Copies of this chain bind each other. A is one copy, B any other.
């Protein structure tokens, strides 16, 4: 059990003045005599006084705390975004309370409730993969609690969000593959209801069209984005009568799993099958061959989400909905540049 920290009351009784005098002294209130201000400040410094945030929270009806709900905190993508959120939050005197949904709809709801019960000042959320019903955001929106989505978003007319331009990025990736000789470009996608899945497929199809390639249903496989799911998908693609000469994966996990399967079959990357996807700087350079990829500006996504949220928290106007689309960069590395 912790010892109680010093309060205004302690200082007041030690100095034989009232609590309000101490409070005002610490803020240099003009009504007070310089002598008492000096005395109070000295004792406060000596005793390491800091205002009790619980009392302040009760008074001001705010906690200087923002809640973050992510599918998981281990994946580099999310931890890096969290890092960006932390950066901005800390710079503005806010704390972040993190909880992970483990991609579960039920846990996402629980986490949200917990954070609301904790009275966070706002929420930054990335939807769980399982989440297809969005009604649990009704009460949050209705209660006008500041809320920002990132990456996997919903209800974008009512809630601000930070995303990358998935359509554009996917289109770019597809064209990149074509330019480097690929003619049968496959796509391992995510669950069909996720916005990122839809948008990346859209970009993929646009890219194909621009390159004069026709969309082949066999070359598009949906997965749950698990390692196992991606392995199955990859093998399905590779065992087609006319297998792909390039695969575009929807995210990290899918890519790494596909890479393993391709190698296991004795195929060469990129010569037999080129491989590209969405991931981040770090992972792209750690695998072999280095991965050509759309790298998410993860840290910046986190920063932007936090900025958006803090604006909402600080403004007393009604919600101003904003969609921020971050620029994603295609970085050309080894996995897509065929030698032959």
Contact = CB atoms under 8 A, between A and B. Distances in A.
B316 A1 contact: yes
B74 A86 contact: no
A90 interface: yes
Contact of A286 (B79, B144, B146, B287): B287
Contact of A79 (B61, B73, B90, B139): B73
A104 interface: no
Interface string A54-97: 11011001110100000011111001101100100010000111
A63 B64 CA distance: 14
Contacts of A283: 286
Contacts of A313: 1
The number of times this chain is found in the oligomer is: 2
A209 interface: no
Nearest to A75: B79
Nearest to A81: B74
A33 interface: no
Contact of A256 (B4, B76, B121, B286): B286
A144 B2 contact: yes
Given A2-B143, A144-B2, A76 B73 contact: no
